[in-house]
Amino acid sequence: MQAVGYYISLPFLYFISVLPFPLLYLLSDFCYLIIYYVIGYRKKVVRTNLRNSFPEKSEAELRAIEKDFYKYIVDFFLEMFKCLTISKEALLKRVSIENPEVVLELYKNGQNCIVSTGHYGNHEWVNQVLPFLLPFKIKTVYRVQHNTYFDRMFLDFRSKYGVEMISMEEASKKITKAEKDPFLLLLANDQSAPPDRAFWTMFLNQETSFFIGTEIFARRFNIPVVYGCIKRVGRGQYKAVFDMISDAPNTLPKGDIIAAHAQKLERDIKMDPSPWMWSHKRWKYKKVNGQYIDLNYKE
């Protein structure tokens, strides 16, 4: 059944991928109307997340953010399918780095670098374009897809310009491997972490669990950690902005790196909430009076 779904979908995905950008966004506008007003994709999840994150906002303000998010998420998915055929030249026209000197200084000193980011803005395009913008060997940790055919498709387009994709299961072994040249490791840390193996901190008005892999790797090997924000500066236009968290992480108290990441991500989400993945079940777990609760709320 996995193969059937994949091969049925493939012609449509490639059709979307080869559309000129004006037609791509015209299609996105149409799909938004269907997904938001007819299907109502994960509306309950989105509304719960927004209401809990911004209790100070009125219903009208929350609905405005909600609509902006749905417009963005349709853009994002169509832009992601564009990755199947997008050229280096098209990527370089649409993605830039505001302050590359933050990480270039590390490279000049022969240091590796961890960029801690979230699913904010088009991380797929940034992942593809980084080998053209920075001299590091780029490594990205990803979650394996359940459908092995789609998993291979994602791996192929994510790595076609030289990025080394590393599954979460293989991360510990592959990241510790000796390298001749400095590498930049891209880690997205804004998904719901298992409560008993997580770092807990206040994030968007809620006790929130974060994966601790970033801090484990950084402290164990003293790899500098940089926060990366992918700002949406226009439709189909993105700018990565780097913000140093620590260039000597093994000197910091336990938890400081993840707490700093959470604070910076929250700052960016509050400045522009629309390009963050509000449809994710980010708060599947709650910590109440020291006890972990699995909410498992339904769509």
pLDDT at 90: 97
What global pTM score does this model have?
A: 0.93
Confidence of residue 299 (pLDDT cuts 50, 70, 90): very low
Q: Residue 286: its pLDDT value, please?
A: 77
Task: Report, as an integer, the average pLDDT of 88-109.
Answer: 97
Tens of pLDDT, residues 52-78: 999 999 999 999 999 999 999 999 999
In the predicted model, is pLDDT for residue 107 greater than 80?
Answer: yes
Mean pLDDT, range 187-209, rounded to an integer? 90
Indicate the DSSP class of residue 253: P
Q: Which distant-in-sequence residues (6+ apart) come within 8 Å of 252 by Cβ?
A: 219, 246
- Averaged pLDDT of the chain: 92
Q: What is the secondary structure of 116-164 as a DSSP string?
A: EE-SBS-HHHHHHHHHHH-SSEEEEEEPPPSSHHHHHHHHHHHHTTS-E
Residue 218, amino acid? A
Domain residues of the chain, as ranges? 2-294
- The 10s digit of each residue's pLDDT in 255-288 is 999 999 999 999 999 999 999 999 999 998 876 6
Band (196; pLDDT cuts 50, 70, 90): confident
In angstroms, the CA 39 to CA 165 distance is 34
Q: What is the model's pLDDT at position 192? A: 84
Percentage with pLDDT > 70 across the chain: 95
d(CA 244, CA 114): 10
Position 75 scores a pLDDT of 98
Determine the pLDDT at residue 293: 66
The CA distance from 228 to 143, in Å, is: 19
Question: What pLDDT, on the 0 to 100 scale, is given for residue 295?
Answer: 60
Residue 46: per-residue pLDDT: 98
**pLDDT tens per residue across span 133-192:** 999 999 999 989 899 999 999 999 999 999 999 998 888 777 766 678 899 999 999 888
How big is the chain, counted in residues?
A: 299
